[in-house]
Chain A
Amino acid sequence: MESYNKKNKTDFENAWSEALENAEATPDSKVWQNINNELLHADHVRLKGYYKTYKMIAAASVSLLLLAGTAFTYFYIYQPEYKSLQTQTETTEKQPEAIAKNQQNNITEGDKNINKVKKNQEVEESITESLESAQQESSFNQTLSNSDILVQDKADTEKVNNTLVSNSSLPSKAQKLNERAQQSTDDAFHAVSSIDIKKHKLVVFSKNEMALPPKIYQREQKQTPMPNYNQQIVLAEETEEIEIVKRDKSKRFYADVNVLTDYFNPNLELNSPQVNQVVIGQLSSLSEEMNTQLLGQENAPSVSFSYGINMGVKLSGKWIVEGGVSYANYNTQSLSNLAIANVNNGIAMPVTILNRPLIDNETYEATLLDLGNLYTINNSFEFASIPIRAGYIVGLKKINLILKAGVNTGLFLRNEISANDDALEPYVNKPNDSESPFRKVHLNGLVSNEINYALNQNYSFSVAANYRFALNSLTKEGENINSMPDSYGIGMVFRYHFN
């Protein structure tokens, strides 16, 4: 461009171009300070953006867990038992032709399924006969057993059930089938009672042993056991029932180990908005362009984690209570170019609103670090916690959702304010330090949920999401700062169920 300029333009233009080529002028020093402040602001916006993103991810994860739990609950736990014969009959009514075409095939299939049914032996022969007679009439198919808990294959149950319904092309027939199913169950009860009603009962329970207690049907109830697809009907002896109950009780206690990644926000607030101005006044000799952001009030979350152990007990089928201990290391970051230096040894430490009172201490002298050098201040908290929670298990299956809420007693262990620069010494607050602004003990509320998967009879694994919120301030009364921290955590729980 410039060579073109020189070749094609007049002496006048070239003269100007050459005369101003090396022109220089010194701007006011405040220009860089303003640039620095703008960049500081941009950094804060970026960090806050990250925090918002973390929050959104945490919220999305919690929502997903809840959604998954709800979906699981709906589809696997509260799925309605087999559709009633009447409902299926309505379907039959709508598609009579199609059903008529498949009728012969269904009958054949139904016969095959029926043939799969295990035969009873001596004591239960009468029950089997009743059932078989009902099945041959395309009737109720579920009840079969022997003294060792004979289990009818659930697939067979479904197929036979479908067959029964499909075979009925008219509502009246379906109604008859229903009645016959009822009759066959009654026959089964009769058979049992004819042997020994005290020793044998019809029991419906899940194949999954964890899904207890079983549902027991007495003859007097006159109620037809209608197991769903993952339940089974058996004829059990009373002794076995007792054994089942015992086994259930033995699994009431559990212990777990949990590890979580946390996003912690101390939510620092100045009780008096004038405090910043006071600090700025104190430091006015250092810089007239002091920025309130430099006091480290705004914190962005950094890598944080917590882990702990819990012991729990099942109060009843679905309620649990648990307690334990945990350790948490929460880290946040802020930006600063302020420091305080010990006048005796010259050691400088980063200063934020958490250790700001040291500025008033004669031993220390506030200093403004190189304006062009911005330090990332890491604010690290360590807590020991004693959580106590109550929970509710939605469903009693291999996978279930556990909703928990409770309180957590937080014991402050340590706070370290450090900079990412070796020139600065870290500043440490400990529980017994008189200058520490933090309470030794504070309380949190806890809300959490878990998707729990039973690995086997003794072990289970959970994906957990926690939300922890302060019930009282983390800082002492009378401090210029107030802190009501909250945190989100996502992690894993390994649980052992005692036999």
Chain B
Amino acid sequence: MVDEANLVKGCKKNNRKSQQALYDHYCKKMFAVCLRYCRKAEDAEDVLQEAFVKVFTKISSFRSESSLYYWIKKIVINTALNYQRSKLYLYPMVDVNELHYLSEKEFTLNNIHYNDLIKLLQSLPDGCRIIFNLYAIEGFQHKEIAEMLSISVGTSKSQYSRAKFLLKEKILNTEKVLHGKLQ
């Protein structure tokens, strides 16, 4: 069991061993977060690297009252958003028609490993992928997302709707492949 308080104390003293221990403890979970936001693993590694450098340089501002995991995750998400922001400027998100073709009742992902789910997310267009992550997984509201990404609430909703549609389609296809229905 890792003693987070001691790790944080060591990191605040710029102790490299503590920093590495902290990295080792959280890098896998945070890398998974990065992979959800980035299309390529190389990009995700860049984000992870940049995020942890920020963690170690800003650790003095961390207050023990909050959870270290969520504090680091917040930095990772913000870094990922900044990393993607240039792409979002290049390819601005626009409203798309909301799609409700598939039923959401009794929807489960039990049969799919999270590695495959991450790959599905990575296959989404940049805008869709980011908004889906923020809304469905991180739990942000569309209003918050709109403020974070400087877009309209409508754009956030429509992009999310599109992401959901694309994902359901891909999941259905995956299940068909898994059950041999496409043959």
What is A's interface to B at a CB cutoff of 8 Å?
1-2, 4-5, 9-13, 15-20, 22-28, 30-32, 34-36, 38-39, 42-43, 370-374
Contacts and interface: CB of A to CB of B under 8 A. Distances in A.
Most A CB within 10 A of own CB, among B32, B44, B45: B32
Given A2-B139, A39-B56, A374-B16, A19 B109 contact: yes
Contacts of B115: 23, 25
A372 B139 contact: no
A43 B138 CA distance: 34
Interface string B96-126: 0000000011111110101101100000000
30 contacts: A2-B139, A5-B139, A9-B139, A10-B104, A11-B107, A12-B107, A13-B136, A15-B107, A18-B109, A19-B112, A19-B117, A20-B137, A22-B29, A23-B29, A23-B32, A26-B28, A27-B45, A31-B27, A31-B52, A32-B23, A35-B23, A35-B49, A36-B16, A39-B19, A42-B53, A42-B57, A372-B17, A373-B16, A373-B17, A374-B16
A-B pairs, top 4 by smallest CB distance, nearest first, are: A372-B20, A5-B139, A24-B28, A23-B32
A5 B27 CA distance: 25
A412 B112 CA distance: 71
A33 to B, nearest CB: 10
Given A39-B19, A373-B17, A17 B137 contact: yes
B56 A28 contact: no
- B interface bracket (residues with beta carbon within 8 Å of A): 35 or more
A350 to B, nearest CB: 15
A40 to B, nearest CB: 9
Contacts of A1: 138-140
Contacts of A31: 27, 45, 48-49, 52
B15 to A, nearest CB: 9
B162 interface: no
Contacts of A30: 45
B28 to A, nearest CB: 4
Contacts of A11: 104-108
Interface of B: 14, 16-17, 19-20, 23, 27-29, 31-32, 35-36, 44-45, 48-49, 52-53, 56-57, 104-110, 112, 114-115, 117-118, 135-140, 164, 168
Given A19-B112, A20-B36, A4 B137 contact: no
A7 B139 CA distance: 11
Nearest to B120: A16
A27 B27 contact: yes
Nearest to A372: B20
Nearest to A371: B20
Contacts of B36: 20, 23
A2 B137 CA distance: 8
A19 B118 CA distance: 10
B21 to A, nearest CB: 8
B32 A17 contact: no
A2 B48 CA distance: 23
A24 B136 contact: no
Contacts of B138: 1
Nearest to A27: B31
A11 B110 CA distance: 12
Contact of B29 (A13, A15, A24, A38): A24
Nearest to A15: B109
A239 B22 CA distance: 87
A7 to B, nearest CB: 10
A104 to B, nearest CB: 74
B57 to A, nearest CB: 7
B45 A25 contact: no
A34 B20 CA distance: 12
Contacts of A16: 109, 117, 136-137
